[in-house]
Structure formats: C-alpha cells, structure tokens
A and B are shown apart, each in its own frame.
Chain A
Amino acid sequence: MTRRLVDAATGLATLVLLALVWELYKWLGPADGWSIGEIRVLPRTSDLAMPHTWEILGRLADPLTAAPDAPSLAGAVLAAGAFSFGIALLSWVLGVTVGILLALGMQRLRVVESAVLPLVILSQTIPLIALAPLVRGWGSRLYLGPVEWEPWMSVAVIASYLAFFPVAVGALRGLQSPDTIHVELMRSYGAGWWATLVRLRLPASVPHLLPALRLAAANAVVGTVVAEVSTGIPGGLGRMILEFANFASSDPAKPWAPLLGAVLLGLVVAGLVALIGLPLSRFRRVEVSA
C-alpha cells in the first residue's frame, strides 16, 4: 500500500516538474523560438504560443463561450472526454478480444502463426490517417439490419485496429513462454490443448499480457482521439481539439484544455488497466531454479 502511495506521489511530482520546465522555458527561452534555417526546432515562448500553466488551468473554470448559459470549459472537456472514454473502452475490449483470439490461433497451429503474424505486423504499417476515411466510407455502406452504422463505430473500429496489435504479439509470446519441462509435465498428465492452456499457458502468459494490455489501452486512447480528428465526428475530444485550434489567437489557453482532457483520459484508462493487474500478482512470480 505504501508503495502505491509513493507511486502516486512520484506521478504528481512529475506533473509539477513538467509545469516547472514549461514555465522555465517560457521565462528563459527566446521569444521567437529557435530555428535552424527555415525549421523551428524550439517553440516560441510568447503568451499566444505558450500560455502560463496557471492561465491554462484558470481558463478551465471559465465558461465555454460568452453565451449566458454556457457550461464551464472544464465541464465541456469532461463531457467530451466521457464520450471519447466510452469509445476508447469499447475499442480496447474489441482489440483485446481480437488480439487474444489471434494469439490463441497462432499458438494452436504453427501454420496460422506463419500465415497471420506477418499480416499482423504489416497491418500496423498502414497509417491511421489513411485508414480513417476508408473505414468511415465502408461503414456508411454497411447494411446491418435494424442497426444503423453510426460514425462513432468507425472510430471504435479504427482505435481497436491499433489496440489489438500489442495484445496479439504479447499474448502469443506469453502463451509460448512455458518451459519445455512444464509443457512435458502437462503431457505426462495426458493433458490436451485446452487443459494445458488453462493450467499452464494462460497463467504463464500473464507477465507478458499485462504490459500488452497497457499498451493496448494507450493505443485505444490515441486511436480514438486521432480517429475523431480525422473523421471529424462530433462529441469527443478529437473534434474539440480541431474546433478549439481556431481560438489560438483570440483565446490562447482554450486549445490546451482538450489536450489536458486527453492526458486525463489516458491516465484514467491506464489506471483501470493497472487494476486488472492487482488480483493477478501471483502469476507474476518468477521461477527460481534449484
């Protein structure tokens, strides 16, 4: 328990440190940034480009727009974050399911592994930006009976496309991780594929699977936000980032708010995945040989 407290304190200290670095650079850095030829390698430090951290935070409490009944900026960001969170969570579940099923298939049959693994790796070389409009286009032409293809489903598909990859690779490594001695022990018990899976391969895969789930969560969040940006569907943080970018000169602190929202989203999802690891701690014990 104390370790968890220390971890939380360390995380908080890192945030404070980050804010300090931001302010320090803003204070000391050249107002016009620093360029090599045409390329600016360090950002401008003006109040437009880099508002003070307290201004960014303070802006959150202010109303979204000048309209009299406008909600606070923080409220709007949280609502958008909740929308994106829903999609990210769904994408994560989808990605993890597909990833584990693929890994099981690859572990079960060598042929599947040599056929599918290259495709799995190849799949990640297609840039998300190229994929997003395609998926959106296909989705709108899908006929699903009474269910209508909603734009957010396209986002979920794209995000799960990013999320399944680390799971497929990590789970496969985990399922293949048992030592020969353990595999032969199972064989000596006359255990078939299923019994060996349940008693040996799944428990042994936990240390490989947990980091993969964490990566999948990060990918699901990034995938959701980027897919929202590139498909432009309303409601989530991605669209908010697009819209608020227009306020860069009139309300410089405002565009940073949805970014903070995305960071928070990432933290929440990472925290949830960390919770999964808690009851599985005994599977992370390592074998020490005599």
Chain B
Amino acid sequence: MTIQTAPQREEHPRGAVAVEVTGATRVFQGSAGTVTALDGVDLTVGAGEFVSLIGPSGCGKSTLLRLIADLDRPTAGTIEVFGRTAEQARLAHDYGIAFQQAGLLPWRTVRANIELPLAMHGTGRAARRERADHLIELVGLTEFADHYPDQLSGGMQQRVAIARAVAEEPSLLLMDEPFGALDEMTRERLQGELVRICAETRAAVVFVTHSIPEAVFLSDRVVVMSARPGQIREVVDIDLTRAARSDEGLREDAAYFAAVTRVREALHHGSPTPAQGVELR
C-alpha cells in the first residue's frame, strides 16, 4: 500500500459521486402505529468526501446509513452507490461498515477478525496476512494481534472493528457512532487515526455522530438533521484542510471553533430548547 500524497480533490478512480440519495423515505409500520423515520431525504456524498450526520436521537441517522448499506430498504426514493443500486454495491463489496458496537467474532483473534472480510471475498492467505499486519500496526495493536476480543478493552475492540472495516480498502466507509462508547481520550486518538486512514485509502465516509466537535474535526461537510419526520435541516461546509486535521493543534484553532458554532446554531435553529441527545461540548 502506498501513502497518497496527491491533493485530496483530484479525480477519484471510482468517479465523482460515492453516494446519491434521492427522496429517500422510510416508514416503519409497528403495532404502536407508523413511524416516519426518514422523509424525502436528498444527499450526495462525493468520492473521497467525509460527511457526518448529526441530529437529535431518533432523527433517522442510523436508518439513513442502513439504507445506504442495503441493510434496509427505503419505502420510497432511490439510493445509488458509485452509480449502482445499493444492493449491487453491497454485493460488489463497495463499502466497509463499522457500528457503535465493535461486533467482533469472539472466536477469532484480532488478526483473524481483520482478515474476515478478505477471507470471505477470496483474498489469498499471504496477501491477507500482509494486509492485516499493516492494519494492526496502523491501529497500534501489534502486541495484541493474537489476542481474542474478550482480552481487549472496549477501545481496542473498536480499533479492530475500524481496521476490519477498512481492510478491503473500500471506496466508501459507513460508520454509525463508532466512537460512541469510548472515553474522550481514546476517542480523540481514534479520530486522529481515522483521519490518517482516510487520507491513506481516500475513502468517502458517511459518519454518524452525536458529537459536534467530532463531526467538525472529521468532516468536509456536516449534515444536520431534525426529527419527526427525519429530514435534513441544513448542510454545513467545513473548510478545514485535511492537512490541518492531522495536526492536533486544530482542536484549538479559531476556524475550528467557528465551525463548531455554525453546526451548533444549525442544530438549534428553529428549536427553542437544545436538541436532545446531542452533546454540546
């Protein structure tokens, strides 16, 4: 694997658009009535672009992510991933995914867990091992390569899950609050690692989070959503360069704080009380 040094907005080999969501609506029929989780959502994620979804609890962030991953189907609207349907993209292994829980297979070692997607898609043993070794080093778990998940801390498990998600160098990464269960220090370190990994693989990322600082730190654009029905309220462009992002000093930067303020205002816009479930740190 070579480290990409080219500027980030150059022509992406997979074309210009990673995800194209058009008029996506998802209505859940339950015994307690119907819930409109998403209502006519339009969203375009460019290739190599990092987009965060933020909004109050229950506004449909996970639902939207699951639609893109083809783990769920929209009631109306279409979803395209690299010009194909979401299902074709899933079957073509176009994306890697990480959830809030690590979801490692308990009977597989760290290395075997990271190798899982490669093994399932027929990568040879030697290539698999080489890739896994590289990723294990990238997430700083070299000494734990042969440990089992129950021997790792939560943060370590999450790092394995992220390594697993990027194992196949997907052009698209889908992440649903991957750092949600972690302490602040681990979280910031993993954010730094994620920025590094994204720079390396040039993957487009759709990232669900509850944390405004996290969204701002990581994203090119922050999509602010509102609940009942789940809709996109505003899209905030974050114009911080990726080079600046890999520098920890960014978190104290004035431009960074300005962006945090803009996202916060977008979240509160139109709602007199602070949105529930969003961390305002």
Contacts and interface: CB of A to CB of B under 8 A. Distances in A.
B185 interface: no
Contact of B106 (A181, A184, A188, A287): A287
A286 B157 CA distance: 14
Given A187-B90, A188-B90, A188-B97, A182 B105 contact: yes
Interface in A181-230: 181-182, 184-185, 187-191, 195, 199-200, 203, 206
A275 interface: no
A4 interface: no
Interface in A220-248: none
Nearest to B120: A189
At the interface, is chain B mostly helix, strand, loop or mixed?
A: loop
A181 B177 CA distance: 14
A282 B103 contact: no
Contact-residue size bin, chain A (C-beta under 8 Å from the other chain): 20 to 34
B103 A182 contact: yes
Decide if the interface of chain A is mainly helix, strand, loop or mixed: helix
A39 to B, nearest CB: 52
Given A287-B150, A290-B101, A195 B120 contact: yes
A141 interface: no
A74 to B, nearest CB: 44
A286 B107 CA distance: 8
Contacts, number: 64
A168 to B, nearest CB: 23
Contact of A286 (B91, B106, B153, B158): B106
B171 to A, nearest CB: 14
Contacts of A203: 105, 107
B105 A286 contact: no
Contacts of B101: 181, 289-290
Interface in B141-170: 148-150, 153-155, 157-158
Contacts of A110: none
Contact of A285 (B117, B150, B153, B154): B150
A34 interface: no
B102 interface: yes
Nearest to A287: B106
Interface in B74-125: 90-93, 95, 97, 99, 101-107, 116-117, 120-121
B155 to A, nearest CB: 7
Interface of B: 69-71, 90-93, 95, 97, 99, 101-107, 116-117, 120-121, 148-150, 153-155, 157-158, 181-182
Interface of A: 179, 181-182, 184-185, 187-191, 195, 199-200, 203, 206, 282-283, 285-290
